[in-house]
A = this chain, B = another copy of it.
Amino acid sequence: MSRTRRLRLGAFMRPVAIHTGAWRFPGADPNANFSFARLKGFARRLEAAKFDAFFMADHLAVLNMPMDALKRSHTVTSFEPFTLLSALAAVTERIGLVATASTTFDAPFHVARRFASLDHISGGRAGWNIVTTANPDAALNFGQDGQMDHAARYVRAREFFDVVTGLWDSFADDAFPRDVDSGIFFDPAKMHVLDHRGPSLQVRGPLNIARPVQGWPVVVQAGSSEPGRQLAAETAEVVFSAEGSLDAAKRFYADVKGRMRALGRDPEHCKILPAAFVVVGDTVEEARAKRARLDALVHYDSGIGSLNGMLGTDVSGYDPDGPLPDIPDTEASKSGRARMVAMARDEGLTIRQLAARAGSYAGLAFVGTPATVADGMEEWLDAEGCDGFNVMFSDLPQGLDDVVDRVVPELQRRGLFRLDYEGPTLRDNLGLPRPANRFFP
């Protein structure tokens, strides 16, 4: 079976399981999220299954939830993404390595340099997930009294992107002759001093590392707000979206690709990968029962904490069995709030029901047999709801094994997923062009 469009699959791995009850699931390793040996094994399994990328979300503070919920979360101790992905680069060969780095709480020189280093060490497998950092507690860890407002964060993010990509272009690809006879290590005419002086950032350059193997590491974006979509259309090569329904996903897909066309970008040059929580069973009923067992492991205190986090507002003072009150607009992530408000409205859920959903993952889920999971993924791909998925595993290692050993072969049988990597770099596998150097075209 020949298909022109195939799925791209990322693995959402920080935390290794998004589901709050996953670490307690029978057979799961309670420490899977913080065991390098486990994570190395997972990365190698995912690579053997030809996954496009191992993706690390990030937080610059412990999650902002009440202690009664936080104490039940396996996210409290997690590896810093860069450290982990650099280590994994040394023990993998082909899988992409996507790290989150914040444009609000880091410096563009550091970010450009680390991603360039990871790209060189991994032979061209690095990706940068650009985030503006929604957790308001992060500001308090970086000497700020409160969080920069949402719009200002996105203005800075865009300038930050320009600086980082400009620093990556500090050297022409052939800037380093390393001529032993003449003693000339690099050609100064092939070095560009950026000398950026913008409203938020002043960075001289050049970077002290050669241009990345991929030209630029793959640029990833996840925000779904209005400025988030625009930033994605302008800059992103992968979008990790979070649409819960196919209709919403089709609208998001058409919107981002349309914005790209309007900007003169080829819509094929950005792959939209919704997050998808996958639970596999021998029958659909067995898979649903597994999800119910997982959900039953989520304590109410965890659910209400997750709900508060997504809403950006503490609703624990309201009647749990009553409706969701009007939620004020805050500087927290707009997309999470919008999704929960819509879910409460559309399904008529109480705060208690919403809390259980929030605590056990409220987004897109494929719960079924390998065939029905593949059916769902195929439907989304064919309907132009996505270019693939960022898979969230239900429990580790079993939930990952189920996807790798059962779902992936079914996708491959249908011609929906690669049998082998297309090339050595993440760009090769995602079908993305290598950016020209803006200073040495």
Residues of A within 8 A of B (CB): 23-24, 30-31, 34, 36, 40, 59-62, 67, 70-80, 82-84, 86-91, 105-107, 109-110, 113-114, 116-118, 120-121, 137, 140-143, 171, 176, 178, 180, 183-188, 201-206, 208-210, 297, 299
Main SS at interface, chain A: loop
Partner of A176, one of B72, B77, B185, B202: B77
* Pairwise interchain contact B143-A201, C-beta atoms closer than 8 A: yes
| B71 adjacent to A137 (CB under 8 Å) | no
Alpha-carbon distance A176/B34, docked complex (angstroms): 11
Which of A23, A83, A89, A142 gathers most chain B CB within 10 Å?
A83
Bound together, the chains give a CA A229 to CA B170 distance in angstroms of 37
Please, how many angstroms separate the alpha-carbon atoms of A91 and B31 in the complex? 22
Q: How far is B113's CA from A77's CA once the two chains are assembled, in angstroms? A: 10
In the bound complex, what is the Cα–Cα distance between A402 and B9 (angstroms)?
48
Q: How many copies of this protein are present in the complex?
A: 2
Q: Which residues of B contact A106 (CB under 8 A)?
A: 107, 110
Whether B67 and A121, one on each chain, are in contact in the complex, defined by CB atoms closer than 8 angstroms, is no
Given known pairs A61-B208, A185-B23, A208-B78, the reply for A87 and B178 (CB within 8 Å) is no
Contacts of A61 in B (CB 8 A): 204, 208
Contact B80 A185 (CB under 8 A): no
Q: Is the CB of B183 within 8 A of A299?
A: yes
Closest chain B CB from A78 CB (angstroms)? 6
A209-B79 CB under 8 A given contacts A72-B185, A73-B185 = yes
Are A185's CB and B120's CB within 8 A? Answer: no
Q: Inside 8 A of A120's CB, which chain B residues have their CB?
A: 34, 36, 79
Q: Which residues of B contact A201 (CB under 8 A)?
A: 143
By the criterion CB–CB under 8 Å, are A77 and B143 in contact?
Answer: no
Give every chain B residue within 8 A of A117 (Cβ-Cβ): 79-80, 83-84
Complex contact A209–B90 (CB within 8 A): no
- Which of B62, B171, B297 sits near A183, CB closer than 8 Å? B297
List 17 additional contacts besides A83-B121, A105-B107, A143-B202; criterion CB under 8 Å: A23-B185, A34-B120, A62-B208, A71-B184, A76-B186, A77-B186, A79-B117, A79-B209, A80-B114, A82-B83, A82-B86, A84-B117, A87-B90, A88-B90, A90-B90, A140-B202, A183-B299
A194 to B297, CA, bound (A): 32
Would you call A23 and B178 a contact (CB within 8 A)?
yes
Chain B residues whose CB sits within 8 angstroms of the CB of A299 once the complex forms: 183
A121 & B188 in contact (Cβ 8 Å cutoff):
no
Q: Which residues of B contact A78 (CB under 8 A)?
A: 208-209
Instruction: Given A91-B91, A178-B30, verify A141-B86 contact (CB < 8 Å).
Output: no
A180 with B30, Cβ < 8 A, contacts A120-B36, A185-B23 known = yes
User: Complex: how many Å from CA A112 to CA B114?
Assistant: 17
B171 near A77: Cβ-Cβ < 8 Å? yes
A142:B109 contact, CB within 8 angstroms: yes
Which residues of the other chain, B, contact A87 by a CB distance below 8 angstroms?
A: 86-87, 89-90, 121
Q: Is A188's CB under 8 angstroms from B71's CB?
A: yes
- Distance in Å from the Cβ of A298 to the closest Cβ of chain B? 9
Chain B residues whose CB sits within 8 angstroms of the CB of A34 once the complex forms: 120, 210
A374 to chain B, nearest CB (A): 32
Expressed in whole angstroms, the minimum distance between the Cβ of A429 and any Cβ of chain B is 20
Q: Is the CB of A40 within 8 A of B208?
A: no
